[in-house]
Amino acid sequence: MALRFCGLMLTTFFLVAGNHGAADPAVHAQVGGTAVLRFNFAPFNLENQTLDSRRIDINFTDPNKYVFSLRGGEENFEPQSESYKDRVSLNSTCLRHGLVVLTIHRVNLSDSGEYLLTLPKLNMKLSLVLDVKEAETKKTDGNNTTTAEGTKDEDLKHYAWLAVIPVAAIIIIIIIAVALLKPRPWSPKDGEKGSSNGII
């Protein structure tokens, strides 16, 4: 399942040559939910790499800017900011495919800002912006319910649809091609047409 998840994300990212990969231009999340930050460095295997993720926007006033660190493939919590303690997780399975997928749990408004991910040994870096909004509420049977939990997997569903649509289109094209190439059964009318045209 994890490999399929990584493969799906690989098909939805753009690969840019040189010292740059690809990252989502902006990630949107709601207070209390989760935010998934994706950085694509394919085709590099990052399992044994050193990587650092930190805040680089001026709104983050903590002198320690580190969000997450990996040293030789092992998580390093020593430099991590107190603001992110026990809230950030890494999908380690995706590292072999060149994907760094960080999930921030229990998102709050102060998490909004720009995140930079660097790979010092490869001299590569990517940044993205996280935009956190107050959780929307809706009326259900007269009660106020928050939609933050209901939308925690919304971003992943978006990528799933990007994979489903082209597959569905290919299936439809195959069905149409088979229908057009299928030979028609012979009928007496076909014989009459041949006779009238001088064909015996």
Domain ranges of the chain: 2-135+145-151, 163-196
**Is this structure's pTM higher than 0.75?**
no
pLDDT value at position 7?
44
User: CA separation (Å) from 8 to 4, 27, 76, 120, 163?
Assistant: 6, 18, 28, 27, 7
The three-state DSSP-derived secondary structure of the chain is CHHHHHHHHHHHCCCCCCCCCEECCEEEEECCCCEEEEEECCCCCCCCCCEEEEECCCCCCCCCCEEEEEECCEECCCCCCHHHCCCEEECHHHHHHCEEEEEECCCCHHHCEEEEEEEHHHCEEEEEEEEEECCCEEEECCEEEECCHHHCCHHHHHHHHHHHHHHHHHHHHHHHHHHHHCCCCCCHHHHHHHHHCCCC
Of residues 178 and 108, which shows the higher confidence score?
108
pLDDT grade for 179, boundaries at 50, 70 and 90: confident
Measured distance CA(175)–CA(181) in Å, rounded: 10
Please determine, for residue 54, whether its predicted confidence score (pLDDT) is greater than 90. Answer: yes
pLDDT value at position 196?
53
Looking only at the bridges linking them, the beta strands covering 26-30 and 124-133 are: parallel
CATH of domain 2-135+145-151: 2.60.40.10
pLDDT value at position 5?
42
Measured distance CA(171)–CA(176) in Å, rounded: 9
pLDDT in tens, 113-126: 999 999 999 999 99
Percent of the chain with pLDDT over 70: 64
pLDDT grade for 169, boundaries at 50, 70 and 90: confident
pLDDT value at position 107?
97
pLDDT value at position 12?
38
